[in-house]
């Protein structure tokens, strides 16, 4: 896959930890090549990835749904069995208030994004909640900008918080997501975080098997990837996260096409 990136987007990739080689051609624009290498020094000095090369996903056609305009909120699917935490009690998920990102750069005909980001419960204690605080927040911002969400039509981010809950509360995630999707009408859903991805997709598969493919969440094309906190601890997986973002960008580009 080839993507034309401007200087700002290349800078965001460098901050995200992905080094891009851009061959110079005399009569054609510079394009992204099919190999990337992590270079984490901008966020965590000295934590770079030594010599790993990763290929971008092939530019395969992807099926894109028509944007729904529901007359009423969609019905939530049957709830999954509640998780069990180490102490034996059930675990539930709270969907935090969604907030609009990058409104100043919104494009009239751009794709609609919904980002569901796995977030520590302590982060929601700040008023108002900001997803871009600290090193993890800086990396998240760089990832989203590198994926051009700052030039999308609408971008909503909702934090997903894992917490102890009663059985009834633990079953409420899908209903909350249904309400959120009915409001956001997303073209693309990006789920960030292993546990969040498993909960949203109602799956026990490891993230390595869930990522790299297109899922459907409440009728919306969905891609899952690593959360920023995980990537700070495991910079070697940043190249895989960039592959996931490339897949999500292809979906967004198809959704925003005049033919759709």
Question: Could you tell me if residue 4 is inside a domain?
Answer: no
Q: Is residue 83 part of a domain?
A: no
Q: How many helices (H) and strands (E) does the chain have?
A: 8, 11
* Burial bucket for residue 17 (CB in 10 Å: 0-12, 13-18, 19+): buried
Element spanning 83, H or E: strand 83-84
Residue 218 lies in a domain: yes
Give the domain CATH number at 172.
Answer: 3.40.470.10
End-to-end CA distance of the chain: 22
Structure tokens belonging to residue 60: 């395969």
* Helix, strand or coil, per DSSP, at residue 95: strand
Q: Is residue 250 part of a domain?
A: yes
Beta strands at 154-164 and 112-118: parallel, antiparallel or unpaired: parallel
> Would you state the pLDDT for residue 166?
55
Is position 135 within any domain? yes
* Number of independent structural domains in the chain: 1
Please indicate, yes or no, if residue 9 is contained in any of the structural domains. no
User: Domain residues for 107?
Assistant: 91-255
Rounded distance between C-alpha atoms, residue 141 and residue 199, angstroms: 24
Q: In what order do the strands lie in the sheet with 18-20?
A: 18-20, 35-38, 54-55
Asked whether residue 35 is domain-assigned, the answer is: no
Q: Are 244 and 212 in contact (CB under 8 A)?
A: yes
Low-confidence ranges of the chain (pLDDT < 70): 1-4, 15, 17, 19-91, 165-171, 257-260
User: Could you tell me if residue 104 is inside a domain?
Assistant: yes
Q: Which pLDDT score is estimated for 64?
A: 44
User: pLDDT (tens digit, 9 = 90+) per residue, 160-186?
Assistant: 999 876 555 545 899 999 999 999 999
């Amino acid at each position: 896959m080839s993507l034309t990136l401007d200087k700002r987007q290349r800078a965001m990739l460098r901050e995200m930890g992905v080094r891009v080689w851009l061959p110079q051609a005399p009569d054609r624009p510079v394009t992204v090549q099919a190999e990337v290498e992590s270079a984490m020094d901008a966020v965590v000095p000295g934590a770079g990835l030594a010599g790993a090369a990763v290929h971008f996903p092939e530019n395969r056609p992807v099926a894109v749904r028509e944007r729904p305009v529901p007359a009423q909120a969609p019905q939530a699917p049957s709830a999954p069995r509640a998780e069990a935490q180490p102490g034996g009690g059930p675990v539930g998920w709270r969907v935090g208030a969604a907030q609009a990102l990058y409104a100043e750069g919104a494009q009239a005909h751009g794709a609609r994004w919904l980002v569901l980001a796995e977030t520590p419960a302590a982060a929601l204690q700040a008023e108002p909640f900001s997803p871009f605080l600290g090193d993890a927040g800086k990396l998240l911002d760089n990832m989203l900008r590198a994926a051009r969400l700052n030039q999308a039509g609408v971008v909503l981010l909702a934090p997903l918080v894992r917490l102890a809950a009663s059985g009834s509360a633990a079953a409420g995630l899908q209903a909350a997501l249904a309400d959120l999707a009915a409001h956001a009408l997303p073209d693309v859903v990006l789920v960030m975080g292993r546990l969040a991805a498993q909960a949203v997709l109602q799956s026990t598969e490891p993230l390595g098997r869930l990522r790299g493919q297109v899922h459907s969440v409440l009728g919306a094309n969905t891609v899952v990837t690593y959360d920023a906190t995980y990537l700070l601890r495991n910079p070697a997986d940043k190249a895989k996260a960039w592959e996931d973002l490339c897949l999500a960008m292809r979906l967004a580009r198809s959704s925003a096409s005049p033919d759709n």
